């Protein structure tokens, strides 16, 4: 798994061992960042929830984000994220939080421009997490929520003031992007 664009392009990232973590594929990451770029989306501060290897947040840093926070409940994943941040030279532009996502929504205080959620596909609580996130103080008026999910637990079109902006399918992976409903 390599960084696909920006200043760290080509640097190989480590993935946590085993099948518990499903890194976002190269094709999906390329398509996702292409969608964001072509839509003129700007993001300075990024939050990567269920971060796994940290590939999505690190890709955002490589493409110009000034800061990214990574949240994962697994100590093994957090160690891999720290290693990947060292490999790419982004350690000083990142925070790693080894806590459950719900706890992170309570303790983080930054406003994020872009939030990635990449929970396990068998996690039936993704919609609940989106609802909690949409009502949190972590999101600004132009924040985008990017959710990777499987078909087994489909997402609804609206979470709080966030509505579906784009949906794509790449094999077993579904990407749903939400933005604030225009007032």
**Which residues constitute the domain of residue 94?**
26-180
Count of beta carbons in the 10 Å neighbourhood of residue 42: 13
Q: How far is CA 32 from the centre of its chain?
A: 11
The CA-based dihedral angle spanning residues 5, 144, 1, 76, taken in that order and rounded to the nearest 10 degrees: 140
pLDDT tens track, the chain, 183 positions? 888 888 888 899 998 876 566 666 677 778 788 888 887 788 999 999 999 999 999 999 999 999 999 999 999 999 999 999 999 999 999 999 999 999 999 999 999 999 999 888 777 788 899 999 999 999 998 999 999 887 777 789 999 999 999 888 877 778 899 998 764
Number of domains in the chain: 1
Which CATH number is 48's domain given? 3.40.50.150
Q: Which residues contact 128 (CB under 8 A, 6 or more apart)?
A: none
Edge to edge, what strands does the sheet with 173-180 contain? 94-97, 67-71, 45-49, 112-117, 139-149, 173-180, 162-170, 158-159
Say if residues 99 and 8 touch (Cβ distance below 8 Å): no
In a domain, 11, yes or no: no
Helix, strand, coil fractions of the chain, as percent rounded to 5: 30, 30, 40
In a domain, 50, yes or no: yes
In a domain, 8, yes or no: no
In a domain, 32, yes or no: yes
């Amino acid at each position: 798994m390599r960084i696909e664009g920006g200043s760290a392009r080509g640097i190989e990232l480590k993935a946590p061992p085993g099948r518990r973590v499903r890194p976002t594929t190269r094709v999906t990451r390329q398509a996702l960042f292409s969608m964001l770029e072509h839509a003129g989306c700007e993001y300075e501060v990024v939050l990567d929830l269920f971060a796994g290897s940290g590939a999505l947040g690190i890709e955002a840093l490589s493409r110009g984000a000034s800061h990214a926070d990574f949240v994962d409940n697994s100590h093994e994943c957090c160690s891999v994220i720290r290693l990947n941040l060292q490999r790419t030279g982004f350690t000083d532009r990142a925070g790693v939080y080894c806590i459950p996502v719900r706890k992170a929504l309570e303790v983080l205080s930054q406003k994020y421009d872009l939030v990635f959620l990449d929970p396990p596909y068998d996690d039936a609580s993704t919609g609940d997490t989106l609802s909690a996130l949409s009502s949190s103080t972590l999101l600004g008026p132009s924040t985008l929520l990017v959710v990777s999910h499987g078909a087994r637990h489909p997402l609804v079109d609206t979470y709080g003031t966030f509505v579906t902006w784009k949906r794509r399918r790449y094999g077993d992976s579904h990407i749903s992007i939400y933005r604030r409903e225009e007032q």
